[in-house]
Chains A and B, each alone.
Chain A
Amino acid sequence: MAKEKLTRRAFLRTLVTAGVSASAFSLASCSRAKRESFFQKHFLEMTDPEKKELIARLEERYLSKYGRAFDVSVKGAVKGTLWGYGLDLSRCIGCRRCVYACVRENNLSRHNPQTQWIRVLRLKKGNLVDLDKADHYYNPPEVPEPDYFYMPVQCQHCENPPCVKVCPVHATWKEPDGLVVVDYNWCIGCRYCMAACPYRGRTFNWSEPKLEKEEWNTEVHYLGNRPRMKNVVDKCTFCVQRVRNGRYPACVEACPTGTRKFGNLLDPESEMRYMIAHKRVFRLKEELNTQPKFYYFFAE
């Protein structure tokens, strides 16, 4: 009996044939929507009819999955806008109202895991440079505390974003209105962007977001607060679903002390331009040449 010798070539041929037929079989057996989402194009390469189909597919899926009627938007950047953010360090009292307004608006997971896009740092007064000594787990009975000041940090929407540079699949990019966004369908979850971000501005979805049915915000944007999948990276988008419709971000509206400012940097009449021209302004870690569009300032 001659022993059949399996050559490397024959082995590979069998493997490839088996692989192709298996994937063809599984794709043929799955639903049309699943097949389409598997072959979905990159968001920036989609045509308008394809985006319409995408919206219909997502709305149907969210309805069956979460039992709520979602309104998915793919609205593009408004012409002549470059969004900028201002945060008045002389007013922030560290109450974290912004953190939870953001969580509610952007459908962030409430527990197991908890994800938050805003991190409020507490620093000793007179110690703005030593961010290593910052604490974001502070929990006194009342804020502000006399010896401390507070510095909320979130995505800085850099003009020169290091997170975009390192993405191996171009799942994240800077939009024409300056927002740095993620296509969750394209993200492979490698977390290079999280390692590259000097502001810890990105979060990873260790599981699907855990929300009660009535907690979902159903006004969503494809590049923003739509329900995320497991194993994708997300981040603050300056509430893309709101600002592209002319509405202030949720954190701006939630702040009880008026610390947070938002506006169009290209509009000479905007509050942002007044703030930059008249107040003491700095941007976080300017030496890294990330050129954030998030301005910290002191009104007093």
Chain B
Amino acid sequence: MHTDIKLRHAPEALPWCLACHDVKNRDKLHLVNGDLIDFTESYRLCGQCHGTNYRDWKAGIHGKRVGYFSGGKRTYYLCVNCHNPHDPKFKPIKPEPPPFRPQDKENG
């Protein structure tokens, strides 16, 4: 299963798994300074390199928030909810169909 993972993420900075995953405790990630963090805090790890995006994400300008902004539960999407950390670039997707033109029979 793990052999399926192809790393396409900054090969100079993160050449292999243990650049982010901890060698002794596989349920943790480690920062550059050696601190171990949970997977739920992975944004701190990403923020080490992607500082400007990290700053924007904290302000709500990068990334996505869903749910209630007041009076309810708000969910913050983490970096890895949208970007695959092993292959972070967004892939092209199929668009939803265009609107009918005025002359189309579905628009009569």
- How many A-B residue contacts, CB cutoff 8 Å? 104
Choose among B67, B95, B100 the residue that contacts A111 (Cβ–Cβ < 8 A). B100
A274-B61 in contact (CB<8A): yes
A142-B59 in contact (CB<8A): no
A258-B82 in contact (CB<8A): yes
B92-A144 in contact (CB<8A): yes
B66-A143 in contact (CB<8A): no
Chain A, interface size: which category?
A: 35 or more
Binding-face segment, A26-34, A189-197, A224-232, A249-257: A249-257
Residue B65 CB within 8 A of the other chain:
yes
CB 8 Å contact bits of A31-61 with B (1 = contact, 0 = none): 0000000000000000000000000000000
Closest B residue by C-beta to A119: B99
Judged by DSSP, the binding face of A is: loop
Name the interface residues of A135-149: CB closer than 8 Å to any CB of B: 136-144
Closest A residue by C-beta to B61: A275
Residue B47 CB within 8 A of the other chain:
no
- A196 → B minimal CB distance (Å): 21
B95-A143 in contact (CB<8A): yes
B94-A247 in contact (CB<8A): no
B77 contact set on A, CB distance < 8 A: 258
A256 contact set on B, CB distance < 8 A: 82, 93
Residue A188 CB within 8 A of the other chain:
no
A139-B98 in contact (CB<8A): yes
A279-B90 in contact (CB<8A): no
B106 contact set on A, CB distance < 8 A: 111-112, 114
Known: A141-B94, A274-B59. 13 other contacts (CB 8 A): A96-B96, A99-B99, A112-B106, A113-B108, A119-B99, A139-B98, A142-B93, A144-B92, A248-B69, A257-B82, A261-B61, A274-B60, A299-B56
